[in-house]
Amino acid sequence: MNRRHCAAAAITLVCALSLLTVPVQAMAAPTPDSTPSPSASAPSSPGPSSEKDLEKVREQIETLYRQAAAATDAYNLAEEQTKKQSGEIVKLAKAIVDGQARIAELKDRAGAQAREQYRNGGLPPGAQLVLSDDPQLFLDGVNKVRTSQQASKTVLAELNRTQEDLETYTQDASSNWHKLETNRVKQAKAKKKINARIASAEKLESELETEERARLRQLEQEAANRAQSAWLATRPVQDVEAISGEASAAGKAAIAFATAQIGKPYVWGATGPGSYDCSGLTMKAWAAAGRPIPRTSQEQWRLLPRIDIKDMRPGDLIIYHADASHVAMYVGDGTIVHSPRPGRHVTLAGAGSMKILGVVRPDK
């Protein structure tokens, strides 16, 4: 590696390290032009004029929050990847510094050997002894020559390996830096989308009268009750009894943690202790049980062992919606504990109150 390359690598490394702790800039609340399509935007009239209109508002709000949940998963995943890349860059930075120090040491050793050879007329001490008429000195000289040659070869071989490693570390640091920047861009885009969806949903709800907001809550509960009843109706009696079985020891610990958070507000991207998003709650609950799991609901669905819903037991995680954008913990008797959405708190709900994608078991 020539000096120009090392200098360029060092400059890149310093720039990377200087930005590792810089947070993603908060995005301003979106303008009306950046809000979702007309089907998900606020109605033009001051408020709904009938029960049918209010139900339509409820559906629009639900859609917006589901879109925000999907964007939250994208944000959380990008954040985890950013942390990982930052950690990798720090490790590579240390490896580069150590490698440079090792190269300097090896070069000093190689230089000392070269100077010693020069002082002895171009021959190492052992080679001079080979020329002696004394048989014992001759044999000693042969051994010293071999030892000296092997030492020189070892130093040169290690120097070459260290230089190659340093080149690899530099390339890896550059690659991880590009990945880090890519994930920062993903975070910013996801954050903008989250803010836009939540702002639109809040606008819709804010335009309702006090009585209408109370009725909206009732409609939400009624919709959840209908979905729960429909889900239970599709399950054979023996299945419902089976999925109320005994939790594992770890499952009980996870349930105890999750249910202790009931009443705490939903905040997207939050992992406690004062607030949670849906996957932040399940991740922390299972971490408390001694079983680390992925950060996002989509990664939990992708990476954790899947089980048939009829084999579900308390402590298992239920993944919801086709895009795996929501997760809850099953606590038994057809009930879940989850952090629903912005404006709501960690609560108990029916396991079938949302469309189930599947079930995973962290301690399988």
The active-site residue out of 15, 278, 321, 345 is 278
Q: Which two tokens stand for residue 324?
A: 């795996």
pTM given for the model: 0.61
* Residue 21 confidence (pLDDT): 42
Rounded to an integer, the average pLDDT of 281-287 is 98
| CB-based contact 302:358 (threshold 8 Å) | no
Reply yes or no on whether 6 is catalytic.
no
Reply yes or no on whether 326 is catalytic.
yes
Sign of CA dihedral 262, 193, 62, 361: negative
All CATH 1.10.287 domain ranges of the chain, comma separated, are 50-206
Residue 47, pLDDT > 60, answer no
| Least confident interval from 29-33, 98-102, 204-208, 282-286 | 29-33
Reported as a single tens digit per residue, the pLDDT across 214-239 is 898 899 899 999 999 999 888 765 55
The active-site residue out of 178, 321, 338, 345 is 338
Reported as a single tens digit per residue, the pLDDT across 92-131 is 878 788 878 877 777 777 777 667 665 655 555 545 544 5
Q: Which residues contact 206 (CB under 8 A, 6 or more apart)?
A: none
Rounded to an integer, the average pLDDT of 328-333 is 95
Strand order through the sheet with 306-307: 306-307, 356-360, 317-320, 326-332, 335-338, 347-350
Question: Closest Cα partner for 61 from 29, 36, 32?
Answer: 36
What percent of the chain lies above the pLDDT cut of 90?
35
All CATH 3.90.1720.10 domain ranges of the chain, comma separated, are 236-360
Looking at CATH, the fold of the domain delimited by 50-206 is given as: Helix Hairpins (1.10.287)
The active-site residue out of 6, 15, 326, 345 is 326
Reported as a single tens digit per residue, the pLDDT across 175-225 is 878 887 888 888 888 888 888 998 998 898 888 888 998 898 899 899 999
Domain covering 236-360 in this structure, CATH number: 3.90.1720.10
Q: Report the C-alpha gap between 1 and 261 in whole angstroms.
A: 55
| CB-based contact 124:145 (threshold 8 Å) | yes
Q: Which two tokens stand for residue 237?
A: 């009696």
How many CA atoms lie within 13 Å of 229's alpha carbon, on the beta-carbon side? 6
Reply yes or no on whether 15 is catalytic.
no
Residue 297, pLDDT > 90, answer yes
